[in-house]
Structure 1
Amino acid sequence: MVLFTLSEKYNRNKQVLRSSRLLKRFLNTILLLAFAGLLIFSAVSVLPNIVSVSNTVGGKELPIYCVETEKPQISISFDAAWGNEDTQTILDILAKHNVKATFFMTGGWVESYPEDVKKIYEAGHDLGNHSENHKHMPQLSDEEKTQELMKVHNKVKELTGFDMFLFRPPYGDYDNQVVRNAKKNNYYPIQWDVDSLDWKDYGAEDIVKRVTEHKALGNGSIILCHNGAKYTKDALDTLITALQEKGYEFVPISQLIYRDNYHLNHEGRQIKDK
């Protein structure tokens, strides 16, 4: 009788122990699933909400040319595809005026001047994607478009740890597929509404006059310049001063644009949804 009682007690304790172990495994599984879900949510939440918005206007996909805003804010951008002789001077002038800009860089430029990429980033300016090889994007297959974006993306990521999300098509050349591909790869396609034409080498005075008197210049404008153009550095100090005297505040494109809940009009002007 005693032996039977002891045996029954042993079996009952064994069963409780097994149940306890099963419960522990179950709880551990729940915790792991919850942690994995949290990681996934965190990863998704930091990505720009690009896919959820439409860039379609009248059946055509448009990049962002400018932004509708009541604030007197504008952005100045520099395409970096050749040369770095003037980059430090440009950075010094921007720092003098406490202006943050946006630099759209090709993969070749990033590879040739990695220290400049780091300087631009550490100075608080936007790093933007200008494709790997500066090709006409509409002429490429969808896979080639992605390669043009992601090769330079990965180079900049390796150098700075930063995931770029602003893309300017080389030559300003795009079609529906280029815009869709950019969005698919978590990029906002960016154009401009004020062109300095600095690459034509008309001189510093022409650059200043062309930008400050441009008919499209206004709140939310995006100005196009090139860091390698001959007279850009000579015009920049006067240009910034003139625009600030007009009451404009310079912000990088990443701060000018809306990240979600927007639409574009026929001008490519980004408008915040109510």
Structure 2
Amino acid sequence: MRIIVIRKSVLLGLLIFIMVLGTTLMYSQNMGNHILSVMNKDKLLPIYCVDTEEKKVAISFDAAWGDQFTDGILEILDRYNVKATFFLVGFWVDKYPDMVKKIHEKGHDVENHSTTHPHMSKLSTEQIAHELNTTSDKIENLIGVRPTLFRPPFGDYSNKVIETVMANKHYVIQWDVDSLDWKELGTQPVVDRVTRNVKKGSIVLFHNNAKYILEYLPLVIERLQKQGYEIVPISQIIMKENYYIDHTGMQRKMNVPQ
């Protein structure tokens, strides 16, 4: 039987080599996964929230059906010196043009929520562009400012939707805090749900015609302001360039070499 003798120095060198090689492979794999999570076209995401150190949040209202509470919403926002974002459907714009103008005159973002409120992921590229631009044209004709934000109805999107909307110079906006006001569960459940889940950079979803909105909206605003949050329009909280969206939908600043 032949016995092979390995010097301690050789053995130690071999072990160090194996450890360095293993660490390098793990690092490379983690970096590769990070790059894929950011750049992989199979995982395009809208902006759900924003990574920020500032204690700012945005509240938004989707307007598709009804107008009975909108004046009251604007009065509450004025009372607390809050500016918000309204996502409007095309047929709502047609029905309430004076209210569209009033929302704008009050200093709020007037943005795009499609023309006919369809499931956007089921449409062709041409149909997506039509849904988007028809309503942005209508809003621009009324207030002289073209929307730059788009919220897909039902929160329904696909890679094609995101790519088409961005190609037409709009940012795709979702939310990370859903008030669930459409369930009509009452005032306190909405207040609790929103104020417990909000964080720096959150985007909150409300509906302009939700049943209890005039009751819960002032309570939500008061609690957020007591917690030290500044409530701003979405256009003032998102980044416009040099950003990426991580796997959770959070918009983050991209480190650009100087």
TM-score, reference length from structure 1:
0.78
Q: Which position in structure 2 is the counterpart of 1:172?
A: 155
Alignment of 1:81-230 (within 5 A): 81-214=64-197, 217-230=198-211
Q: Which position in structure 1 is the counterpart of 2:227?
A: 246
CA RMSD in angstroms, aligned pairs only: 1.3
CA contact (8 A) 1:121 1:160 kept: yes
Task: Kindly provide the amino acid, as one letter, of the partner of residue 113 in structure 1.
Answer: Y
CA contact (8 A) 1:110 1:117 kept: yes
In structure 1, C-alpha distance between the alignment counterparts of 2:40 and 2:76, rounded to whole Å: 38
In structure 2, C-alpha distance between the alignment counterparts of 1:175 and 1:59, rounded to whole Å: 9
Q: Which position in structure 2 is the counterpart of 1:235?
A: 216
Alignment of 1:43-58 (within 5 A): 56=39
In structure 1, C-alpha distance between the alignment counterparts of 2:229 and 2:84, rounded to whole Å: 14
What's the offset of the Cα at 1:154? 0.7
Task: Kindly provide the amino acid, as one letter, of the partner of residue 242 in structure 1.
Answer: R
In structure 1, C-alpha distance between the alignment counterparts of 2:121 and 2:39, rounded to whole Å: 17
Task: Kindly provide the amino acid, as one letter, of the partner of residue 154 in structure 1.
Answer: D
Task: Kindly provide the amino acid, as one letter, of the partner of residue 116 in structure 2.
Answer: N
Task: Kindly provide the amino acid, as one letter, of the partner of residue 102 in structure 1.
Answer: T
Q: Which position in structure 1 is the counterpart of 2:236?
A: 255
Task: Kindly provide the amino acid, as one letter, of the partner of residue 196 in structure 2.
Answer: E
Task: Kindly provide the amino acid, as one letter, of the partner of residue 265 in structure 1.
Answer: D
What's the offset of the Cα at 1:213? 1.3
Task: Kindly provide the amino acid, as one letter, of the partner of residue 120 in structure 1.
Answer: I
What's the offset of the Cα at 1:58? 6.6
What's the offset of the Cα at 1:233? 1.6
Q: Choose the corresponding residue for 1:70, options 50, 53, 76.
A: 53
CA contact (8 A) 1:57 1:265 kept: no
Matched residue SS, 1:70: coil
In structure 1, C-alpha distance between the alignment counterparts of 2:214 and 2:68, rounded to whole Å: 10
Displaced runs of 4+ in structure 1, greater than 4 A?
A: 55-58
Aligned pair count reads 219
CA contact (8 A) 2:243 2:251 kept: yes
Structure 1: gaps of 5 or more residues: 1-54
Q: Deviations over 1:206-243 (max 9, x none)?
A: 110111112xx210000000001111121000110001
Matched residue SS, 2:129: helix
In structure 2, C-alpha distance between the alignment counterparts of 1:81 and 1:263, rounded to whole Å: 30
In structure 2, C-alpha distance between the alignment counterparts of 1:213 and 1:160, rounded to whole Å: 36
What's the offset of the Cα at 1:59? 2.9
In structure 1, C-alpha distance between the alignment counterparts of 2:223 and 2:193, rounded to whole Å: 12
Structure 2: gaps of 5 or more residues: 1-37
TM-score, reference length from structure 2:
0.83
Task: Kindly provide the amino acid, as one letter, of the partner of residue 197 in structure 1.
Answer: L
Q: Deviations over 1:98-136 (max 9, x none)?
A: 100000000010000001100000111001100000000
Inter-CA distance 218–58: structure 2 relative to 1 (3 Å threshold): farther
Q: Deviations over 1:68-89 (max 9, x none)?
A: 0000000000000010100000
In structure 2, C-alpha distance between the alignment counterparts of 1:190 and 1:109, rounded to whole Å: 19
In structure 2, C-alpha distance between the alignment counterparts of 1:233 and 1:169, rounded to whole Å: 25
In structure 2, C-alpha distance between the alignment counterparts of 1:218 and 1:190, rounded to whole Å: 17
Task: Kindly provide the amino acid, as one letter, of the partner of residue 159 in structure 2.
Answer: N
In structure 2, C-alpha distance between the alignment counterparts of 1:192 and 1:235, rounded to whole Å: 19
